[in-house]
Chain A
């Protein structure tokens, strides 16, 4: 197995939307003989590219969920995850990067380093993914791969070095010059299958020599052997390749390929590059957290004989049931094996094990450390760790950003209600950034996610895949009420309606609590309220917290102290004291000067420094308070506190303000008093709502 694992590559293909990820993947699958025909994205044949397996993706011509696929090239097995390019789906990219060992960064020869390239590159840095770059679309009008290579250096701080030169450009683009072999390479035949090597065109020789010098200069920084051979003038192709490989693995060098996937030029060298320059699983360090040792990090070994550790990184619904994509980090998994889910300690049996090729699959009996395969019919969540039960390890948690937007979804009929529940249950398991809950106050189902498009796609998927017709509401913010000063209460609940009456007196005071939670303090002396009725007083107070008397929002941060009261030997009961507490709450609440609180988020916006002013202005306009701005390389990170209510639509605003080059994350920070103008608006809405309820 050791030899096999050295020839295994787990790679991702990431880039800006429309850079040609899906086209490149499609060509790779064609040349590796996994498919026997090529369909274009939005192809005229109506079939669509193989990796765009979901109907919606086919229609929109974009890749929404990443499909894993397997292929073989020159004795190497390659697992490819095609990743989406839109900012709203970054969790898909993040997940792919979590399980992959290397990546191909695609750039458009015309558009260059675009917005999403910046985001994806930051994500790749976060997961320390070595990459090679492919400058695609060299056949397009305006193509300038040299400029794009410069942008890789300037905008992304890559030590990017061309290892190929384009032969001709735009409509004259006909092949590439390999700067390692110093040969011209042409891709002939109807699908570019036939590779012909030839001499470098005479007019390109000087440029090729100069660029080869640059390549060797850059690569020799990673190999003393290459450096020595340069002095001794006996540089070999193998020495150059080994040095490029070392540089790439250390993430200090990015070899750059050029081509046009659409015109079938330059794809096979990228496959060679994946084999030669990207790491095998044993060249990558993976760690798990040992739950028995306080989540201490432990290094995993790519050894098939060690206990199993695998991570479920993607779930998909298929007509055959739930499909779980896993990466095996240690040990091996075979058909019929028992596995345990680390989160639940639940035992599962491996029924069917398969290697995926977009929508088709190949059954296998065993998979080993380093591999990416799929399990069938396993009940688990995305991000779950599987073990064989002998280890209490869990894979280090993925970076999961908190959702930033919520809206209500209402099914249009009973059938849609059931289908919507099934859909939500599925989406939550598939995507950790997608959340769903039923709002206790309104009874509405609320979905939350990473952006408007993110939620739009799920609403679309509900309709298309689950036949759930839903209407969506306006985003809601979770307001709260809180008192600001101490107020006493002394209330007698007394009722005589024939038979046994009700009697209870509760006295004490309410005040703001220090830590923002609810506290109940019993200071009753001499048993004036019998001990058995005190929980009823507490219960009565807590029942009032659910709906504040000001605008009906939940009340937070209140301490209630009960220090006096009275009971009756016959007429007192739990119910009487609960009602007395409710009366006491109502008596004191408005005297305690309640205010409305709104959630304030900690906002972090990261993007190229040139947009600092735009970002600052956009945050300021949203009642935000900027606390810091950090310059790091070509990027600026702005941190601020902003009311959540002002942040709806921000993803779209930010995208347009920064040409899509900035991204933001938000997390809850605290509740803060709303400004008077906002409070007045809320009061007005509340009054109108009440009026509506009365008239209906």
Chain B
């Protein structure tokens, strides 16, 4: 699936100074409800998995069955879009072998628990994650200490962590560095901040913060609203 690399939403990082997030760092994807945060994060996950990296998907809202089914649907659409034939399902195997889902239901999520779970993966399964996707964390109700904890976890496990954050149409707060709600007071902890916005029939993914680079390119990339793959337009 060579074409995937050129169509991955992470193509947006071509405009980034380091071209990647990098181990020990946090990234956040901000979007309003229903725009496709989870779908976009799953495309990020595919990007990692198809590069044969180990990925942990941390779900704070849904159980593993739903997460798996979301991946399956996204992968079917992806395979169709890239014209992958049934017999060439090496990629499906890569997903199954290199992805671990950790779900935390009913407010069970704590940094210490995540740390212990990751340690168990490393020690008992020799599963050393290169990247974590953390989906469903409520930025409004979560204390800064949790984000600090995530940053520490990223450093300890030498992994990069991608989060999603829910924004609201009616909250227009933006800090002096141009970072909007709900990340305006946390931007120092994130190396990359991206925003997903619907524009007409397309979705645009923009980079708002790029590591320590003070000049961030304003241009985003356009994503197909169904597959969340980058379009050439």
Contacts and interface: CB of A to CB of B under 8 A. Distances in A.
A631 B97 contact: no
Interface string A607-646: 0010011001100100001111111110000010000000
Nearest to A636: B117
Given A612-B116, A625-B97, A628-B103, A633 B123 contact: no
17 contacts: A612-B117, A612-B120, A613-B119, A613-B123, A616-B121, A626-B100, A627-B68, A628-B68, A629-B101, A629-B102, A630-B103, A631-B102, A631-B105, A631-B117, A632-B104, A633-B106, A633-B108
Given A628-B68, A631-B117, A616 B100 contact: no
Contacts of B149: none
Interface in B69-98: 96-97
A628 B108 CA distance: 15
Contacts of B103: 628-631
Nearest to B105: A632
B125 interface: yes
B133 to A, nearest CB: 13
B115 to A, nearest CB: 12
- Lowest 3 A-B CB distances belong to which pairs? A628-B64, A628-B101, A617-B124
Contacts of B109: 631
Given A609-B113, A612-B116, A631 B121 contact: no
A616 B113 contact: no
A630 B117 contact: no
A630 B106 CA distance: 11
Contacts of B63: 630
B206 to A, nearest CB: 32
B213 to A, nearest CB: 37
Nearest to B108: A631
A627 B100 contact: yes
Given A613-B120, A631-B108, A639-B64, A620 B125 contact: yes
B123 A631 contact: no
Interface in B92-149: 96-97, 100-106, 108-109, 113, 116-117, 119-121, 123-125
Contacts of A628: 64, 67-68, 100-103
B113 A625 contact: no
A9 to B, nearest CB: 32
B104 to A, nearest CB: 5
A627 B101 contact: yes
A629 B59 CA distance: 10
A625 B96 contact: yes
Contact of A631 (B67, B96, B104): B104
Contacts of A631: 102-105, 108-109, 113, 117
Given A625-B96, A625-B97, A616 B120 contact: yes
Interface in B29-74: 63-64, 67-68
Interface residues of B, number: 24
Given A617-B123, A631-B113, 14 more contacts: A612-B120, A613-B119, A613-B123, A616-B121, A616-B125, A617-B124, A617-B125, A620-B124, A625-B97, A628-B64, A630-B103, A631-B108, A632-B106, A639-B64
Contacts of B104: 630-632
A155 B5 CA distance: 47
Contact of A630 (B64, B97, B119, B124): B64
A537 to B, nearest CB: 29
Interface in B173-192: none
Contacts of A629: 100-103, 117
Contacts of A612: 116-117, 120
Contacts of A613: 119-120, 123-124
Identify which of A613, A625, A630 gathers the most chain B CB atoms within 10 Å of its CB.
Answer: A630
Contacts of B124: 613, 616-617, 620
Nearest to A624: B125
A631 B125 CA distance: 18
B113 A630 contact: no
B153 to A, nearest CB: 15
B26 to A, nearest CB: 21
A609 B112 CA distance: 12
Contacts of B117: 612, 629, 631
A629 to B, nearest CB: 5
A625 B67 CA distance: 17
Contacts of A616: 120-121, 124-125
B113 A627 contact: no
Contacts of A639: 64
A241 B100 CA distance: 49
A612 B117 CA distance: 8
Nearest to B104: A631
Nearest to B120: A613
Interface string A589-621: 000000000000000000001001100110010
Contacts of A620: 124-125
B64 to A, nearest CB: 3
Nearest to B121: A616
Contacts of B97: 625
Interface in A202-240: none
A625 B101 CA distance: 12
Nearest to B127: A626
Nearest to B125: A620
A613 B122 CA distance: 10
B168 to A, nearest CB: 28
A626 B109 CA distance: 20
A24 to B, nearest CB: 33
Interface in B194-216: none
A635 to B, nearest CB: 9
Contacts of B121: 616
Contacts of B102: 628-631
Identify which of A626, A631, A639 gathers the most chain B CB atoms within 10 Å of its CB.
Answer: A631
Nearest to A630: B103
Nearest to A613: B120
A52 to B, nearest CB: 39
Nearest to A626: B125
Interface in A2-19: none
Nearest to B67: A628
Given A612-B117, A620-B125, A627 B96 contact: yes
A628 B64 CA distance: 6
A609 to B, nearest CB: 7
Nearest to B119: A613
